[in-house]
Amino acid sequence: MHTLFSRINNLSALLSSCVMGLLAAIAISSMLQTFIAPPLPQGSVQVNSVKVVPGKGRNHKYEHARIDFAFDADFAPLFNWNTKQLFLYLEAEYTNHKGVKNAVVIWDKIVRRKEDATIKVTGKKVGGRQKYAFKDVHGFRDASATYTLRYNLMPHVGALVYGVAATSNATVPFPPMGATS
């Protein structure tokens, strides 16, 4: 007959096959839900003022951009049974006078609950010695930036989903050093 070891082996093989089949079904349903009809969050981004000030590092000088911005967006449609968390970030994209294209994160937030998914930020200032310093070694001369609110949806099972929630209506030029726009 069958030994105790062979019976345990058969039972564990059956259970692991069932678990793998369940995980495959969850992954496929997650992928179909994400890619067939992805929800699109709505929002707006506006930049109230931009100021460029000088800065000095150990071996070089650079320019800091101090930005006053506001935005609002509703990310609640992105939350479903498979959403673990959202990583939200505001990105400034610009090309400096040497032709180098840059994308800089100037604000971020992690949202873990649907109740916290409606984000409204007003009068937020970035620059100086905060979490994200917005600086350039070559300077911001003759440059203008586009500000985009982006998200990264992290599911429990499946692929990461990246998207755009809002973009500033126009590019915002950097003023000369010391001036405010």
- At 174, the pLDDT band (50, 70, 90 cuts) reads confident
Report which of residues 112 and 36 the model is more confident about: 112
The 10 Å Cβ neighbour count of residue 93 is 14
- ∠ at Cα 83 (71, 42), nearest 5°? 25
Q: What is the pLDDT of residue 152?
A: 92
pLDDT at 130 exceeding the cut of 70: no
What pLDDT is attached to residue 132?
77
Each residue of 15-47: pLDDT tens digit? Answer: 999 999 988 887 787 777 766 666 677 888 888
Global pTM reads 0.79
Q: Give 127's pLDDT tier (boundaries 50, 70, 90).
A: low
| Mean pLDDT for all residues in the chain | 84
Confidence of residue 9 (pLDDT cuts 50, 70, 90): very high
For residue 165, give the nearest of 87, 104, 101 by alpha carbon. Answer: 87
Whether residue 168 is predicted with pLDDT greater than 90 in this model: the reply is no
How high is the pLDDT of residue 46?
86
pLDDT, tens digit (0-9, with 9 covering 90-100), for 51-103: 888 877 777 788 888 888 888 999 888 888 888 999 999 999 998 888 889 89
